[in-house]
Amino acid sequence: MPASPSLATTIRTHTCGALRAADAGAEVRLGGWVHRKRDLGELVFVDLRDRTGLIQISFDPRFTSSETVSLAATLGPESVVLVEGEVVARPTEMRNHELPTGDVEVRAKSLKIVGPSVAPAIPVARVRGEPLPAEELRLRHRYLDLRRPELQENIILRHRLMQTSRKFLSDRGFLEVETPILTKPTPEGARDYLVPSRVHASEFYALPQSPQLYKQLLMVAGFDRYFQIARCFRDEDLRVDRQPEFTQIDIEASFIDQDDIVALTEGLIAALWGEAGLEVPASFRRMSYADAMERYGSDRPDLRYELEIFDASDVFRDTEFTIARAAIAQGGRVRGIRVPGGSGLSRKQLDELEASAKSAGAGGLVRLKRTNGQLEGPAAKFLHDGAATQLALGEGDLALLVAGPNHVSSPALDRVRQDVGRRLALVKEDVRSFLWVTDFPLFERDPGTGRLAAVHHPFTAPHPADVAKLDSAPETVRARAYDVVLNGTELGGGSIRISDPALQSRIFSLLGIDEATASARFGFLLEGLRAGAPPHGGIAFGFDRIAMQLAGAASLRDVIAFPKTTAARALFEGAPSAVPREDLKELHIRIEEPGT
RNA sequence: GGAGCCGUAGCUCAGUUUGGUUAGAGCACUCGACUGUCACUCGAGAGGUCGCGGGUUCGAGCCCCGUCGGCUCCGCCA
Q: Which nucleotide is nearest to A44 (CA to C1')?
A: B37
Instruction: In whole angstroms, give the CA distance from residue A408 to residue A227.
Output: 39
- Closest CA relative to residue A508, chosen from A445, A441, A443: A443
Instruction: Give phi and psi for A489, each to the nearest 5.
Output: -115, 135
Return positions of chain B under 7 A from a protein CB: 1, 10-13, 26-30, 33-41, 69-78
In Å, how far are A41, A44, A63, A68, A116 from A74, measured between CA atoms? 11, 10, 19, 10, 11
Tell me, in Å, how far CA of A143 is from C1' of B71? 21
Give 3-state DSSP helix, strand, coil % of chain A, rounded to 5: 30, 25, 45
The pLDDT, as a whole number, for residue A594 is 56
- Closest CA relative to residue A538, chosen from A452, A456, A433: A456
The pLDDT, as a whole number, for residue A360 is 79
Q: Which nucleotide is nearest to A96 (CA to C1')?
A: B38
pTM of the model: 0.93
Tell me, in Å, how far CA of A276 is from C1' of B63? 54
Tell me, in Å, how far CA of A235 is from C1' of B58? 53
pLDDT per residue, tens digit, chain A (596 aa), is: 445 788 999 999 999 999 999 999 999 999 999 999 999 999 999 999 999 999 999 999 999 999 999 999 999 999 999 999 999 999 999 999 999 999 999 999 999 999 999 999 999 998 888 899 999 999 999 999 999 999 999 999 999 999 999 999 999 999 999 999 999 998 888 999 999 999 999 999 999 999 999 999 999 999 999 999 999 999 999 999 999 999 999 999 999 999 999 999 999 999 999 999 999 999 999 999 999 999 999 999 999 998 999 999 999 988 889 888 988 988 889 999 999 988 888 887 888 888 888 877 788 889 999 988 888 888 888 888 888 888 899 999 999 999 988 888 898 899 899 989 888 888 888 889 999 999 999 998 877 777 888 999 999 999 999 999 999 999 999 999 999 999 999 999 999 999 999 999 999 999 998 999 999 889 999 999 999 999 999 999 999 999 999 999 999 999 999 999 999 999 999 999 989 999 999 999 988 765 44
Which residue lies nearest B29, CA-to-C1' measured? A119
ipTM of predicted assembly, 2 dp: 0.93
- Relative to beta strand A398-404, strand A366-371 is antiparallel
Tell me, in Å, how far CA of A190 is from C1' of B76? 8
